[in-house]
Amino acid sequence: MLELRLVQGSLLKKVLESIKDLVNDANFDCSATGFSLQAMDSSHVALVALLLRSEGFEHYRCDRNISMGMNLGNMSKMLKCAGNDDIITIKADDGSDTVTFMFESPTQDKIADFEMKLMDIDSEHLGIPEAEYHAIVRMPSTEFARICKDLSSIGDSVVISVTKEGVKFSTRGDIGTANIVCRQNTTVDKACSCHIHLPEEATVIEMNEPVTLTFALRYMNSFTKATPLSNTVTISLSSDLPVVVEYKIAEMGYVRFYLAPKIEEDGEEEDKPKPLTD
Amino acid sequence: MLELRLVQGSLLKKVLESIKDLVNDANFDCSATGFSLQAMDSSHVALVALLLRSEGFEHYRCDRNISMGMNLGNMSKMLKCAGNDDIITIKADDGSDTVTFMFESPTQDKIADFEMKLMDIDSEHLGIPEAEYHAIVRMPSTEFARICKDLSSIGDSVVISVTKEGVKFSTRGDIGTANIVCRQNTTVDKACSCHIHLPEEATVIEMNEPVTLTFALRYMNSFTKATPLSNTVTISLSSDLPVVVEYKIAEMGYVRFYLAPKIEEDGEEEDKPKPLTD
DNA sequence: GAATATGGTA
DNA sequence: TACCATATTC
């Protein structure tokens, strides 16, 4: 028996909007710890990891560990039927091949239940080691989204370079080149007093050593679908490690996207990024 | 000679937006009583009835009963040229094969007249008997629209069940099933005082006996195009009678949509709904 | 935050 | 042509 009651249902709606374009089908894993998902994107280049900790739910009952295979497109269709203020409850009976989403309007005047068929999905659950990163950039999520969108109108790849001074996003395409530098914000104090820059709106860099890596903008732009989940995004970079783009979900967990860097080809267009798994 | 002056011209614009998708050509009937229309949709499954009473016009002159055949698409094109605050006057000379729409801007700075050719349309004017309905549901029109839209992302038909407790909208499709229950709002008093539920925002059910009927969502979604006309919608149901979905037009009349229920096929997909006329 | 208006897509 | 998604306004 599984019953997870999430008061801020819009979170789940946003989570699905953020990952459904990347992943078609995935197993949601439910345990006493929380509700989580790990899945490769359809082209096996990027990886999504979601965690919603049990503490974030108003009510969390999960009698035994269970893995529920869902088509994220269909799940998203159903969640779109929930109002943004609705309380969402996820229910599944033991051994059932369906999951039920229940939506309660804030006033309780409208109660909806949507039942969806589960699927069998075989997924390799990768253990993702906690790595030490050369550099971690935290910046406003909307700003990162804007940068990825802007750059992708010029080129296909983004070169991200981090130094103590700031982070530089560069691209190159047929029509020209572009470089966007976000300076580490050193004026947080002043910012607060003039009510323009809240700390969340600053770019903050934690750096052990400078790092420069190249990524496919196509995936970066997919990741930024998670922007509504958090005001800030964290980008963790190390040479030869997949980048981690993380959106924290308030009080509950995170959505993390992993993407392998492009190998610097001095030659030309090799459009296939390196898969995360060989 | 016909001359109807409607101060709130946006009403006529909205009326046309609400019916032009359903009906291509129709006769507008003009008499001392008012300006009305009755027409089957192009597939002869649904029926639209419009009434704008003469009292609702600032000036209403209709010397003799007249029936004017119009292409609603073209009429809508012309009405789109009226500003939302414009005063609209409909004019026709006796024996003329054209109608003129005159638009006056609130400031009288801009006066437009659009002349449209009339058409000959033979239409059977059905007498619609005033029936006693098993159940009449009144609910916020936006909520009804939302429900029809949500359900149509899951299935093609909606089963509407009314009991004293509330009204249930259900559907079933390839990806699963959905049930949305709107409880009759019994707490209108409390609601008013806490400023959340205005009476208009409550679901109210008048029921003589429980009723369960099935309808094609495609038509229901067409009907909800009339949502901008009224904050509330009234759904009148009886077994084996067409449902009536009514949007009242303030001070003037209504737009009503009639749709025959689907016959419960225990077998499979019979996509053709029963026509209202045989 | 909600509703509406507009533009793009299917 | 109709629907959806976004952008803008209240």
Q: Encode pLDDT of A244-264 as tens digits.
A: 999 999 899 999 999 999 886
Contact residues for strand C with beta carbon within 7 Å: A 84-85; B 84, 142, 228
CA–CA separation, B223 vs B246, rounded Å?
9
In angstroms, the Cα distances linking B108 to A114, B82, B103, B104, B229 are 53, 13, 9, 6, 25
How high is the pLDDT of residue A175? 87
CA distances (Å), origin B139, targets A41, A109, B11, B147: 43, 11, 21, 11
pLDDT, residue A130, reads 86
Q: Which nucleotide is nearest to A17 (CA to C1')?
A: D5
Task: Give CA–CA dist B66/B50, Å, rounded.
Answer: 16
For the CA of B61 and the C1' of C9, the distance in angstroms is 45
- pLDDT given for residue B191 in this prediction: 43
Q: Say how many Å lie between the first and final Cα of chain A, rounded.
A: 37
* Structure tokens, A252: 């509950």
What pLDDT is recorded for position A129? 85
The partner residue sitting opposite B185, judged by closest CB among A71, A109, A115, is: A109
Kindly report the length of chain B. 278
Spatial CA neighbour of B37 closest among B21, B19, B54? B19
| Residue A30 reports pLDDT greater than 60 | yes
Q: Which of A72, A114, A119 to mutate to test the interface with B (most CBs of B within 10 A)?
A: A114
- A97 touches B: beta carbon within 8 Å: no
Q: Does A84 touch chain B (CB under 8 A)?
A: no
The pTM of this model reads 0.91
pLDDT at B213 (0 to 100): 97
Whether the pLDDT of residue A126 is over 60: the answer is yes
pLDDT in tens, A204-220: 999 999 999 999 999 99
∠ CA B19-B237-B262 to the nearest 5 degrees?
75
- CB of B85 under 7 A from strand D? no
Whether residues B180 and A108 touch (CB distance < 8 A) is answered with: no
CB distance A117–B176 less than 8 Å? yes
Q: Which positions of chain B have pLDDT values less than 70? A: 186-199, 264-278
Å separating the CA of residue A263 from the C1' of nucleotide C3: 48
B221 touches strand D (CB under 7 A): yes
CB-based contact B138:B234 (threshold 8 Å):
yes
d(CA A69, CA A116): 11
Six token digits for residue B201: 């925002």
pLDDT reported for residue A187: 57
What are the phi and psi torsion angles at B121 (to 5°)?
-125, 125
Q: Write the residue in A71, A80, A110 that is nearest to B181 by C-beta.
A: A110
Nearest nucleotide, CA B24 to C1' = D1
Query: Which chain A residues are closer than 8 Å to B137 by Cβ?
Result: none
Tell me whether B190 touches chain A (CB under 8 Å): no
Percent of chain A with pLDDT over 70: 90
DSSP state, residue B162? E
Q: Residue B189: its pLDDT value, please?
A: 43
Distance from CA of A169 to the nearest CA of B (A): 40
- Give the pLDDT score at A123: 79
Q: Enumerate the nucleotides of strand D whose atoms come under 7 Å of any protein CB.
A: 1-4
- Whole-number Å distance between alpha carbons of A242 and A46: 9
Contact in structure between A53 and A11 (CB atoms under 8 Å): no
| Planar angle of CA A185, A187, A192, nearest 5 degrees | 110
CA B138/CA B150 separation, integer angstroms: 19
**SS3 assignment, position A143:** helix
Average pLDDT over residues A129-144: 92
DSSP label of B192: H
Classified as helix, coil or strand, B10 is helix
Q: What is the pLDDT of residues A155-185, one digit of tens each?
A: 999 999 999 889 999 999 988 999 999 998 7
At residue B127, φ and ψ (nearest 5 deg) are: -80, 120
Q: How far is residue A228's CA from residue B223's CA, in Å, rounded to a whole number?
A: 33
Of B58, B61, B40, B57, the residue nearest B49 (C-alpha): B40
Contact: B178, A98; criterion CB under 8 Å: no
Q: Would the CB atoms of B154 and A114 count as touching at under 8 Å?
A: yes
**What one-letter code names the amino acid at B218?**
R
Quick check: A107 pLDDT over 90?
no
Q: Do B79 and B12 form a contact (C-beta atoms < 8 A)?
A: yes
Please give the radius of gyration of chain B, using alpha carbons only, rounded to the nearest integer: 20
Higher pLDDT, A277 or A201: A201
Nearest CA distance, B76 vs chain A (angstrom): 31
Name the residue with higher pLDDT: B267 or A128. Answer: A128
Cα(B75)–Cα(B99) distance, rounded to whole angstroms? 10
* Angstroms from B238 CA to nearest CA on chain A: 23
Residues present in chain A in total = 278
Q: What is d(CA B21, CA B275) in angstroms, rounded to the nearest whole number?
A: 18
**Average pLDDT of the residues in A20-28:** 93
Q: Which of B179, B184, B187, B194 to mutate to test the interface with A (most CBs of A within 10 A)?
A: B179
Extract the runs of DSSP E, i.e. beta strands, from chain B: 2-6, 25-30, 34-40, 46-53, 59-62, 66-71, 87-92, 98-104, 111-117, 135-140, 157-162, 166-173, 176-183, 204-207, 211-216, 232-237, 243-249, 253-259
Instruction: Test A112 with B179 for CB contact under 8 angstroms.
Output: yes
Residues in A touching B151 (Cβ below 8 Å): 81
A186 has pLDDT over 90: no
Candidates B143, B144, B150: best to mutate against A (most CBs of A within 10 A) is B150
Contact B157/B140 with Cβ under 8 angstroms? Answer: no
B149 CB neighbours strand D below 7 A = yes
Q: Which residues of B touch A115 (CB under 8 A)?
A: 176-178
Q: Degrees (nearest 5) of the Cα angle B165, B168, B172? A: 155
Composition of chain B by helix, strand, coil, percent to 5? 20, 40, 40
